[in-house]
Structure 1
């Protein structure tokens, strides 16, 4: 099986309608491009990852895998434009590492979010957030739109207990907890990116109106929704947010991809291995 054939089989297995636009995924504009290497060579093995750090690339070489399937960009910018970082020494060193490895990198973002037949009845679910629910043991706690896997009714815990559980189950170095640490949490929501736009206010209002006790977030800037959660906690409304980070939250989806990818590839599938990137964050905490 050529690398190009493996990539096409993954596309064919996933839904081809963009989950965010509702339109067919356009080959010319999709994020899901080959961002490095030659795909016209036999596939010797596949590594799935949230993004290909230097460590992930080295591990792929050790495993004898020459295809990395990543969810996020290789060279730190939307579209993986290499010209804008061409003079950057870290870019140059990473290219040297990639060339020495000799494989190809394919980004799988739009297709895995578009839907993968993961449910017991064969229906579709967002492959990234389904993997998050799977990793936490929360598949049976999903509520609302089951395709999206963004809302959960979990057994009641405190905000602090929720944060501790996330750190333990996701293998993190730590996390940030905003709001009331003793909030009684049952309804948990994973909001979309909280980065300062109008959607932040919508998220805050929905948290209030829909009885969401805790957000588990990707991005969470200090302004907007974060401010709301702090005030809600101080005013006795029992709200909190656990900010674990974008890659930490989405990485389990690429871990779970290694479970279903052999089925998608079918006969002659090469070995598939998930390689974690490790927690993005290290924490220096105050001595108390």
Structure 2
């Protein structure tokens, strides 16, 4: 019999970071550690649609990178009387599924598994030539010379997106790139990374639009070779969770491990 505890221990083997050293959101949100597992579903966020897909696939353990109830810390919190949160909670309870939050461990393992998944998705794994010294995993990617406009097109194709947001001159020649998945696109992380690592362009998930975005706008206007491509939080981190699912699958066989992708959350009309 494979239990939730067995799955968590395998995740700790795959992603070696001592959980007890600092505060973490990684924990079992629903279910019990000794629950028997029939199938595992890995996803960027356990949305209502992802939960339904997991149940339909016969999975009774869902591993979610982001929080279920629309905030980073905690669980339902003040939303316990909200009809949307309540219906989601009822669905989890009624279908007797366990839900485990897996956010910090992938990021704090070196190399960062979410960064590695993003690099793999872009086809850049073998182009990583070094790392910028920072508190987070900050790879330096050496690209064949390419204009920012053509690079944006490649990124769109890799993620099968109809759009990405770009700051900078589309004709800029890009040779050195950085990767900042998730919410690392803010000024305190991205600006030193761009400057100190000598990057031409940084690919980010998201960040405050008045920080790095405005820095790159000013840098481009002054003639500096700086640019930014914003792909969205989900798109930048989903591939990392898929990579973890692929690695976990071999350890848990014959228990099925499925990755549940999500449709892009935004519609552009």
Give the TM-score taking structure 2 as reference length: 0.89
Paired residue total:
263
The answer on whether the counterparts of 1:47 and 1:60 sit within 8 Å (CA) in structure 2 is yes
Q: Does 1:102 align with 2:88?
A: no
Give the match's secondary structure for 2:238. Answer: helix
- State the Cα distance separating 1:206 from its structure 2 match: 4.5
The answer on whether the counterparts of 1:38 and 1:103 sit within 8 Å (CA) in structure 2 is no
The answer on whether the counterparts of 1:35 and 1:74 sit within 8 Å (CA) in structure 2 is no
1:22-74 deviation per Cα after TM superposition (whole angstroms, max 9, x unaligned): xx421894211011234432211111111111111011011101111111111
Aligned to 2:173: 184
Change (3 A) 1:86 1:142: same
- State the Cα distance separating 1:132 from its structure 2 match: 0.9
CA RMSD of aligned residues (A): 2.3
Q: Does 1:142 align with 2:128?
A: yes
Q: Does 1:175 align with 2:161?
A: no
- State the Cα distance separating 1:92 from its structure 2 match: 0.7
Q: Does 1:234 align with 2:221?
A: yes
Change (3 A) 1:210 1:7: closer
Unaligned runs of 5+ in 1: 17-23, 116-123
Among candidates 94, 99, 108, match of residue 114 of structure 1: 108
Alignment of 1:41-80 (within 5 A): 41-80=35-74
Change (3 A) 1:41 1:204: closer
The answer on whether the counterparts of 1:13 and 1:264 sit within 8 Å (CA) in structure 2 is no
Give the match's secondary structure for 2:20. Answer: coil
Query: Which deviates the most, 184-193 or 41-50?
Result: 184-193
Q: Distance in 2 between matches of 1:15 and 1:78?
A: 22
Aligned to 1:225: 212
1:72-110 deviation per Cα after TM superposition (whole angstroms, max 9, x unaligned): 111111223323111111101111221233211101122
Give the match's secondary structure for 2:229. Answer: strand
The answer on whether the counterparts of 1:58 and 1:101 sit within 8 Å (CA) in structure 2 is no
